[in-house]
Structure 1
C-alpha cells in the first residue's frame, strides 16, 4: 500500500522516524543510545605528554596501539590512560570516543 492509497482512503501518512531515533539500537530506551551525550560532547586536548585519538569503526585497543606505537601489545598503555572513558572492559570501545595517547 503506497502513500497515495493512504490519502485516497482518508488515513494519515505513517509516522516517519525522527533524527533522534536514527542512532538508537532497536528495543533500547533513550538512556541506551549507541553514543551517549557524554561521548558526543567529550573534548580531550593534547598536551606535552600525550596525543589524542578518535576511535574509528573497526578499531580495537590493540589495533590503535599497533598504528600509533608499532606494537599491538602496548594496548594496555592506552587502556590505563583512558579507564574513565572506556570503563571496566577494554574490549568495549565505541567509534567517536576520544582517547588520550601517552607519548613514549
Structure 2
C-alpha cells in the first residue's frame, strides 16, 4: 500500500466579510478616540489580526501573533526617530510597520 505524502493545496483566498471589516474598523476608531490615541496600537492589532486571520495561502491559514505592547514599542521608536531626523524617518515608518506585521504572521 502506497502512502501519498504530497501536501494538498486548496488555493489562496480571503474569507472575511465587508460588514466584519466595517465593524472592526469602527471599533478600532472608537477605542482610539476614547483613549485619545493611546490605544491606537491595540486597535491596529485588532484590525491586522482580523485581516490576517481570515487569509488562506495555498490551503494554509495565516495567524497573526503580534501584541499591542510590541507595536507600542515600535511606535515610540518611530516617533522618536522621526523627531530626531526632522521628519525624514517618517518615510520609512510604513516599511517598519509592514516588517513588524510580517514578522508577527505565521502559518497556523
Question: TM-score, length-normalised on structure 2?
Answer: 0.21
The structure with more helix, counted as a fraction of residues: 2
Higher CA-based Rg:
1
TM-score by length of 1: 0.21
